[in-house]
Amino acid sequence: MLFNLNEFLIAVSYALDFVEMDIFGVVTNHSKRVAYISMRIAEEMELSKQEIFDVISLAMLHDNGASEKNLHDNMFNGNKKHLHLIESKKEHGIRGEENIKSYPFLTDVKNVIKYHHENYDGTGFFGIEGDRIPLMAQIIKLADTIELNSYLKEVYIEDKQRVQSFVKLHENTMFSPKLVKAFLNISYTPHFWLDLKDEFIDMSIRRNMPNFSMEMPLSKIHDITKVFSKIVDAKSEFTQEHSSKLTDKAAIMGEFYKKPKDEIYKLMIASNLHDIGKLAISNIILDKPGKLNEREFDIIKQHPYYTRLCLQEIKGFEDITEWASNHHEKINGTGYPFGKSGQELDFNSRLIGSLDVYQALMEERPYRKTMTHKQTIEILDEMTENGMLDQKITNDIKKVFK
């Protein structure tokens, strides 16, 4: 399949927006502004097109480790104070570096995320000094520091001067002289600051971003999409293995139905990504011990909508998007969020939907213990009798996993 890295990055940035919606209640555009500033510095420093593309991706992903469960524990709906709190923890760099191992970078980007808070004089989290800090990490550090310490949604001349003085003041301590020079060169035009506004930031990145596509087998694309599922699964301790175990079961059923290899990989990718929309749902709801109230359940029902929003950006993912975002639909029309029914649900949508129920019931939840295969099957049977699930698929699941 011809895999477009730009479309993939847009999908990733949706997922990261969801994390922000959860943590802050709104999309802050923090990562996007960091990406834009990093891109402009990289252009100014004459990095290659491949390196520029990578620094944009990395900047977009630089705080991906922040969806970690433990970081949520201190969070409330809020403002930059909480962003500062996340950024002040070394762990988000380590976790973030780990999460993106399978991302399709074009150049060597080792340790860029891990070291994105290092100071040029060696006083950062890891004590790495000078040009031993990867250049892309230095670029992201500068962009990140500026973004965190200023209000870039609306900038006046005094604000611009303050940011520029701040950067100059920290030459040789936080930032290298080369970087300071590059920043001052790009930041003297009104255009730079206007591009950073909430309304324009998406376009500003898309306009300058180099375009890359790669011919890739679906097996490789499946590996790449693990970036998403790691971020999703890390969000709640109760769903840590949910996506990966669903993926295993989808593969087993695909083999059982003797489906072509490529279709099995698509099923696996869809399974891996089906709950990506949960990134937009608060952990307070996801991890709530006890039954959800009406309002909370109504919010939970949004997650497959967000799954669709994110995946539909990627050309070649049409089937995957369909199957993944239909996983809570029911044949009798009682599912969510689209209320699809009957023929609107193709075989693979039904398959993933049934397997999701089966897998979820076998896992522990805050409000109940794990169920046995037998108890799980009883529930599947009941749902099938009620017209929610596909009879044949239920029978086959019984056969295959007994």
Using CB under 5 A as the criterion, what x/- string covers residues 327-366 for binding Fe ion? -----------------------------x----------
> Which span sits near Fe ion by CB under 5 A: 57-65, 71-79, 160-168, 206-214?
57-65
Quick one: 44 or 63, whose CB is closer to Fe ion?
A: 63
When asked if residue 313 is in the footprint of Fe ion (CB under 5 A), the reply is: no
Q: Is 97 in the site for Fe ion (CB under 5 A)?
A: no
Place of tokens 């035009």: 189
Q: Round to whole Å and give the CA distance between 247 and 245.
A: 5
Q: Which pair of structure tokens corresponds to residue 335? A: 């599912």
The C-alpha angle 259, 375, 250, rounded to 5 degrees, equals: 15
Q: Indicate the residue among 51 and 144 with the shorter CB distance to Fe ion.
A: 144
CB of 307 to Fe ion, least distance (A): 8
Closer residue to Fe ion in complex, CB, 135/142: 142
Cα-to-chain-centroid distance, residue 219? 20
Using N-to-C axis directions, what is the helix angle for 135-149 and 49-61, rounded to 10°? 50
User: Which 127-146 positions form the footprint of Fe ion (CB under 5 A)?
Assistant: 144
390 binds Fe ion (CB under 5 A): no
Among residues 54, 63, 233, 329, the one that binds Fe ion under rule CB under 5 A:
63
Q: Which stretch binds Fe ion (CB under 5 A): 61-69, 74-82, 97-105, 330-338?
A: 61-69
DSSP secondary structure string, 6-41? Answer: HHHHHHHHHHHHHHHHHHHSS---HHHHHHHHHHHH
Whether the CB-CB separation of 69 and 63 falls below 8 Å is answered with no
| 66 or 209: CB nearest Fe ion | 66
**Scanning residues 254 to 293, which ones bind Fe ion (CB under 5 A)?**
275
- Angle between helix axes 261-273 and 318-325 (nearest 10 degrees) is 50
Q: Which residue's CB is nearer to Fe ion, number 3 or number 283?
A: 283
Q: How far does CA 41 lie from the centroid of its chain?
A: 25
Contact residues: Fe ion, CB under 5 A? 63, 87, 144, 275, 356
